[in-house]
Amino acid sequence: MSQVEIKFGTDGWRAIIAKEYTVDNVKRVAEATARWMHSKAMSKLVIGYDCRFGGPLFCETATQVFCNFGIKVYMDKNFVSTPMVSLGVVKLKADMGVVITASHNPPSYNGFKLKSSYGGPTIPSDIADVEAIIPDSPLGKLQTLSDNEEKGLLEYVNLEDMYIAHVEEHFDLDLIKNSNINLAYDAMYGAGQNVIRRLFPDAHLLHCDYNPSFKGQAPEPIHRNLGELSSALSQSDKLNIGLANDGDADRIGLYNAKGEFVDSHHILLLLLYYMKEHKKYDGKVIITFSVTNKMVQLAEQYGLDLEVTKIGFKYIAEIMTKEDVLVGGEESGGLAVKGHIKERDGIWIGLVIMEFMAKTGKSLEQLVQDIYDKVGSFKFDRDDLHIEESKKWAIMQKCKSGGITSIGGKSVIKTEDTDGYKFYLSDNEWLMVRPSGTEPVLRVYGHAQDDAAVRRLLDAGHVALQEGIS
């Protein structure tokens, strides 16, 4: 039987459990990683898994492979978040990290993320080198975990304790707890559940129990998946901030006291505002292609350099290894700030926002209004079109060949193609289209003055994109 070809997407290898994502294929990817580490004289690795089905099995399998190649492995016996593994790599002075996770993908998926010594995503060129040496067949019988532990090749660690201690060192938790902040938290059945329970025992908790099926819901912290969190806030006189994380807790979803979703564009603007104007920090601003151009406007006001990358936090992380970065982030909820590891971290960013509220005494709504006073108001939304692969790529070819000249009766005045296609109808109104690298999905993004205008733009965009495509 021919082996499955394994490809790393925007953020690691992901596949459907028991179909492409099998013990044998995890062995193949782990072997390629181990051989690549050998070629770079690397000898220590941190590994962990999130709450997905089969996490312990796949984690133990990969660990056996790494130990087979003489690599010292630090492994947590319990589920952990991606940022916990990345922080563990730094704290334990390891060469690499591996996270068994499919992040925000549907519950039928699992995955394999690579992390580097700086505590962030492995750079694209190194990932390509690993991918190129994935063997055609898996290794056979391997030494047991007990045998590897006796040899000193396996050491068990508690990455969650390490992460909690790191948070306590960097945040004034008493200030946050003693302010008028009352948190509602939705773990989406993911790996952030225990951290928030430990940090904020009085928080209103949702979906903070172990359920590898995620109740059938992809653990992606976007508004349509967070109805219970939104309702909890809108119906409460006490709760005034809502935080949600994805399956491996590296992405953030945020709500104000009214139960209104505060998207990543607004969070990025808040982070830049706080880090520069209140904390007086400097540095470069890095955003991915789908992020609001309001970030460009605010960075210019502050006299800061800004760079736009392709979509994928790994591109931001690569720049963070070389330059002094103040704020970096992507539309999908992966955000990072100066003073932490070079990694997106949904819990950490939530703490930064709560610290901002505590220090200013302002609500999230008031802070967002401060941003609007600086750069003007806007809204954003995204539709995921589940369509056949052939149709998805036909639409992308149409965009590439200049087939989109107007949307909803408005002329396209400018087109950008850094990663996908962004069609500007005005400075504050644009539609973007980009294919998913891991699913038969076409992502369509809309940016306009208000929610109604965004909805009209997205609906018109669906028509413009699919017109003439069979």
Does 370 lie in the same domain as 287?
A: yes
Does 313 lie in the same domain as 210?
A: no
Which residue(s) pair with 465 in the sheet?
A: none
Report yes or no on 1 lying in a domain: no
For all residues of the chain together, what is the average pLDDT? 95
Number of C-beta neighbours around residue 279 at 10 A: 15
Tens digit of each residue's pLDDT (9 = 90 or more) over 209-236: 999 999 999 999 999 999 999 999 999 9
Number of C-beta neighbours around residue 4 at 10 A: 15
Does 367 lie in the same domain as 450?
A: no
The pLDDT value given to residue 10: 66
CATH number at residue 153: 3.40.120.10
Q: At what angle do helices 55-68 and 23-39 cross, to 10 degrees?
A: 40
- Pick from 355, 377, 399: which residue ends a domain? 377
Look at strands 72-75 and 44-49 and give their pairing.
parallel
If pLDDT is split at 50, 70 and 90, which confidence band does 21 have?
very high
DSSP 123: P
- Pick from 260, 291, 325: which residue ends a domain? 260
How confident is the model over 137-151, as a mean pLDDT?
95
Query: Residue 438 pLDDT > 80, yes or no?
Result: no
Report yes or no on 216 lying in a domain: yes
Report yes or no on 174 lying in a domain: no
Query: Residue 291 pLDDT > 50, yes or no?
Result: yes
The pLDDT value given to residue 468: 87
Report yes or no on 190 lying in a domain: yes
Q: Is residue 76 a contact partner of residue 157, using CB atoms and an 8 Å limit?
A: yes
Q: At what angle do helices 264-273 and 294-302 cross, to 10 degrees?
A: 0
If pLDDT is split at 50, 70 and 90, which confidence band does 1 have?
very low
Total domains present in the chain: 4
How confident is the model over 409-420, as a mean pLDDT?
96
Strands annotated E in 96-251: 96-100, 109-116, 120-121, 154-156, 183-186, 204-206, 241-245
The pLDDT value given to residue 439: 76
| Coil vs helix vs strand at 160 | helix
CATH number at residue 449: 3.30.310.50
Q: Which residues constitute the domain of residue 186?
A: 181-260
Tens digit of each residue's pLDDT (9 = 90 or more) over 162-173: 999 999 999 999
Tens digit of each residue's pLDDT (9 = 90 or more) over 81-98: 999 999 999 999 999 999
If pLDDT is split at 50, 70 and 90, which confidence band does 470 have?
confident
Does 252 lie in the same domain as 267?
A: no
Q: Is residue 10 a contact partner of residue 312, using CB atoms and an 8 Å limit?
A: yes
